[in-house]
Every structure is written in structure tokens, then in C-alpha cells.
Amino acid sequence: MKDRILISVRNLRKYFPRGKALVHAVEDVSFNIRKGETLGLVGESGCGKSTVARLILRLINPDGGNIIFDGIDITNISEKALKPFRRRMQIVFQDPVSSLNPQMTVGTIIKEQFAIHNMGSKQEREKWVEELLERVGIDPNFKDAYPHEFSGGQQQRICIARAIALKSEFIVCDEPLSALDVSVQAQIIKLLEELQRELGLTYLFISHDLAVVKHLSNSIAVMYLGKVVEYAEKEELFGNPLHPYTITLLSSVPSLKGKEADVELKGEPPNPINPPEGCPFNPRCPSKVDICEREIPTLEEVSKGHFVACHIVSDRR
């Protein structure tokens, strides 16, 4: 169904203890991902992107908020109740080398999931492995080879085969291109697009490469210090960025520069153990006013489908 929401995240929070302090990794994050579409999640290193991904997949448990998968709240359900959802959502990690067991053949790596979920006979599993490898561009005759015998791009193709093996609907792509050469990146992008088109996959695509995010995504969420500061459809966000942080991010990419091309992002992000009072971006914001140092802005819909957490933008309405 058109515009059906597959993933809905509401007020998600996660804190990690560090000594006697808490790292504010994710703070009050909310967004939706429509079935068959891609949400791009962008922001500087350490802003909480990967933590959000792992929370959605229930690889780690949230400290607050809700994760709704296809209309069902999976936030606090048991591991036993979660098992059917494990089949429906998977992840492709940043580094294919470390995410593939070096002591297992690629065929065994993929077959392992079928055994966990009691799917098929031995012969069927062998057939499925060959079909999956062929689907992602790997010669099935190499199913008994080990991960180190493949190139980085081939290893990532194997990781993608593993991710779609259980006919998953939702796949997190956590910086899946950053460890690959540029020429190989283009091949993996093409493969991800083909699989989404043919299998109806829904992606959460995390990346530092804004040009790739613009190419692949339908909508974009921009994170800063654990919070979503702007969230909109791709054309709206890239054509009309409103949050000062989003504007500076786009200004850092020559091909994406717009009317605010001269804006430069200065300084380092604040320490998430001791976040600043008020807006988390205020120590680096070139446009801040007094209220920015006192009050945390909420994510508000400033135009249809365009959400921004910024006092300055809200005052202009």
C-alpha cells in the first residue's frame, strides 16, 4: 500500500554509563520510514546514527521511547517474541571483513540463518545459497571459499546476500560503502537499488557521503549530538535546508552548495557526557540568539512534512 509506514520511531532515548556519568547517545529521536523507501540518516561521527540503527533492530535496548515495526510495538517484547521480527529486519555493516566469520565458508555463513529459523531441508538450503550468491553477483561455485579469498567489494556483496537471505523487508545499511574503493561503491549502490526495486526492500541508509544519500534516499533525517535536528523529503531538505547545522553540512560538499555556500562549520561537537544547556548546536551556531542557550528546541513541522528543531526557524514562521 502506498505510503504505508513500516518503521515508526517515537521519542527514542539511549544512555550509556561512563564511570559516574552518562553518555547521552540518543535523545528523543522520532521519524517514520515508508515501506519500499529509503531514509537517509546523516550527521557527524559520534552523533548517534549507528546507535539509532541498533536500537531499531533491538540489538541494544532503548531507555525510552517506542519502536513500531509494521504497526506492532517491539520496544519491550521478549527475545522469543522478537524472533519472527529478526527474519524481517537485517543489517549490512560498515566493515565486511570484521562482520564475516573468517573460520566459516561463505556458504556456511549464509546457511547459518536458515538453520536458526528452521527453514528448508539440507538440499534446499544449498540451493538457496547458490541462488543468493548469484543474485548479488558472486559465482556460486565459490560458496566453499572463505571470506579472506574475496575482495572488499565481493565481501560486501556476501554481506548483502546474508541480509536478504530470509526475505527480509527492512535492511539497515550502516556506512556500507565507506570501506570500499570509489569504483566498487558505485557497483554496490547499483546492487542496493536493484534489490530494493525488485524485492520491495525498505532501507535505513547511514552515511557520511551526502551525495550518495541524496542519490539513494527518499527522505533525510539530520542528527546532531543524539538528536534529529531536521527531517524532510529529499527534495525539500536539499532544496530548502533550514537548520543552521544542515546548511553547514551541505556547504561542506561542493556539488551540494546552495545559497548558503559561504557558511562554515567551526569547532568540535560538545561532549555527549556534558551536553550544553539549551540547543545542543548553540556553541557552534553562527545564528544563535539568547533563547538558544536556555531552552532545548523541539522538532516542529514548519511546513508540510518538513520538521526542524530550531528556535530561529520557529520564530520566522
- Tens-digit pLDDT profile for residues 169-191: 999 999 999 888 888 999 999 99
Is the per-residue pLDDT at 2 higher than 60?
no
Q: Is residue 201 part of a domain?
A: yes
The H or E element containing residue 163 is helix 152-164
Q: Is residue 241 part of a domain?
A: yes
Q: Is residue 281 part of a domain?
A: no
CATH of the domain at 29: 3.40.50.300
Q: Is residue 111 part of a domain?
A: no
- The total of structural domains in the chain comes to 1
Q: What pLDDT is recorded for position 287?
A: 87
Query: Domain of 177?
Result: 5-88+169-185+197-266+299-316
Is the per-residue pLDDT at 315 higher than 80?
no
User: What confidence category does residue 316 fall into, taking pLDDT thresholds of 50, 70 and 90?
Assistant: low
Q: Is residue 82 part of a domain?
A: yes
Query: Counting beta carbons within 10 angstroms of the beta carbon of residue 165, is it exposed (0 to 12), middle (13 to 18) or buried (19 or more)?
Result: buried
**How many CB atoms sit inside 10 A of residue 98's CB?**
11
Euclidean distance between the first and the last CA atom of the chain, given in angstroms as a whole number: 34
User: What confidence category does residue 87 fall into, taking pLDDT thresholds of 50, 70 and 90?
Assistant: very high
Q: Is residue 29 part of a domain?
A: yes
Whole-angstrom Cα distance, residue 201 to residue 297? 34
- Contact (CB, 8 A) for 159 and 192: no
Whole-angstrom Cα distance, residue 36 to residue 17? 36
Q: Is residue 258 part of a domain?
A: yes
Q: Is residue 33 part of a domain?
A: yes
**How many CB atoms sit inside 10 A of residue 214's CB?**
19
Across 116-241, the runs of DSSP E, i.e. the strands, are: 170-174, 202-206, 219-224, 227-233
- Whole-structure pTM value: 0.93
